[in-house]
Amino acid sequence: MCSGRVDLEFVLRAFSNGMDGVFIGGCRLNECNYITHGNYDALNMVLLCRKIMEHLGLNPARLRVEFMTSGEGNLFTEVVDDFSKTVKELGPLGKSEKLDEDELKPKLEEVRKLVPYIKIVKRKKLASRLKNEEEYGEIFSSDEISKLFSEVNSYYIDPDKCQACMICFRRCPVEAIAGAKNQIHVIDQDKCIKCGTCYEACPPRFGAVNQVSGQPVPPPIPEEERTLVRKSKKSA
């Protein structure tokens, strides 16, 4: 499997499931067997994930990526042995970082939910193709990652503007929108992955989906009040 197929969510899921370390091996940069250069995608993802780990208080040394050819068995053995030694010295996930398991797992789960959002916001950097590995040192900064999480957008459907057209309902990739014909739509914030699909899909003439940043999302209207009454029926 190409290392470029190792998704950020896979790595976070491994840590969320209690793995103490994650190792990714790929072909050497600029020597891609599939001409897709997916190893660059893997490198960019790892550098981003390490910064996210720092933000959560985890030691980024628990995640490692190395590039080598299929004929370098000795190098592979050396690298894996060295990584295993590092993880063993660090101990169980969160122990050396002094993080409580009951506190760490919810944080990891929350970040996992935001993976689609993160990939959209950082898509340009995640697609970078720099000349050599050394140039990647500061592609993602700590301040950048802090800002990424502090400015996460949420989405809210204004019940006074929603026309129950079902467009956002059908487009939502995770079925986070509750609604039906002639029923005002509501976004389930626990399911929402902040991808903004509903915001882009809502017809401009309605403008019912609002983007909220830095403040709480208004509470959803009660289910018994979601039936949409058309203006013509109001007049009648």
pLDDT tens-digit readout, 58-76: 999 999 999 998 889 899 9
Task: Dump pLDDT digits (tens) for 71-117.
Answer: 898 999 999 999 999 999 999 999 999 999 889 999 999 899 889 88
pTM metric for this prediction = 0.79
137-173 pLDDT, tens digit per residue, is 678 999 999 988 888 889 999 999 999 999 999 999 9
pLDDT at 134: 64
**In the CATH scheme, what is the code of domain 153-229?**
3.30.70.20
Outline where 57-141 has alpha helix (H): 73-90, 101-113, 115-121, 123-126
Closest by CA position to 166, among listed 188, 143, 184: 184
State residue 164's pLDDT score: 95
Kindly report, as residue ranges, where domains of CATH 3.30.70.20 are found in the chain.
153-229
Q: Which two tokens stand for residue 5?
A: 């197929």
CA distances from 153 to 23, 94, 122, 129, 162 (A): 32, 29, 14, 28, 20
d(CA 137, CA 19): 25
Distances (CA, A) of 169 to 41, 114, 121, 228: 32, 20, 23, 15
DSSP 125-160: HHT---SSGGGGTTSS-HHHHHHHHHT-EEEEE-TT
Buried b / exposed e along 65-92 (16+ C-beta atoms within 10 A): bbbbeeeeeeeeeebeeebeeebeebee
Structure tokens given for 61: 């040394």
Cα 129 versus chain centre, distance = 21
Residue-wise pLDDT for 181-204, tens only, equals 899 999 999 889 888 999 999 999
